[in-house]
Structures are given as C-alpha cells and as structure tokens.
Amino acid sequence: MAVTTEFIENLAADIGSKVYIDIAKWHLYLNDAHLHSPLAEKLSALLENNDLSESSVNAVLASFQVSVGGGQSQLPLSDLIPKQCLRDLMDTLEEHQQDL
C-alpha cells in the first residue's frame, strides 16, 4: 500500500508530540521546532519500503541537518535526540507501519 498524505500527516503529528531535542536539559518537541513534517516524509519512505530498523532510522536522523545559532552551524538530528526519544520514535514508526 502506498503512503498517503494523510498517513504522513498522522505520522508527523505523532512524531512531533512524542519526540524532542534536548539542548542543555531543555526539551523542544519536534512539532514546536517545525521539524516533524519533513522528518515524517523522510521516515515514511522507510516504512513504505519495509526498511524499518534502528540503523536505517539512525541513518535518516544523521542525515537530517538542523540549523542552530541562526544558521551559523548545522547539527545532525541524531546528535540532538536522547536515547529514550529514539525508542519512542521507533515505537511510533512500528505502530504506523502496521497501518500500511
């Protein structure tokens, strides 16, 4: 089954409300940082291709660059997400993969 816009929007909403970046013990949820939708689009390709694994998700997170300091620098999203959030992200992706 093909990934639909509605599927990506639902995935983005779940990711945005469950996953955050941790900066100096401040938690910024991905929906507040406006990162949830572009990340959901990239991760939905893994679900559509039935390529969901922790290593494939980590590869997407490592390639997803986040601008910091007003664009002075970029960091991979994988460096900003705590391990617990990675587990929550994997659980969320597994739940959504069942919907395909």
| Helix orientation angle between 36-48 and 83-97, rounded to the nearest 10 degrees | 50
Query: Each residue of 40-84: pLDDT tens digit?
Result: 999 999 999 999 999 999 999 999 999 999 999 999 999 999 999
Name the residue ranges covered by the structural domains of the chain.
5-97
Counting Cα atoms < 13 Å in the Cβ hemisphere of 89 gives 31
Secondary structure letter of residue 77 according to DSSP? G
Q: How many residues does the chain have?
A: 100
- Whether the full predicted model's pTM is greater than 0.85, yes or no, is yes
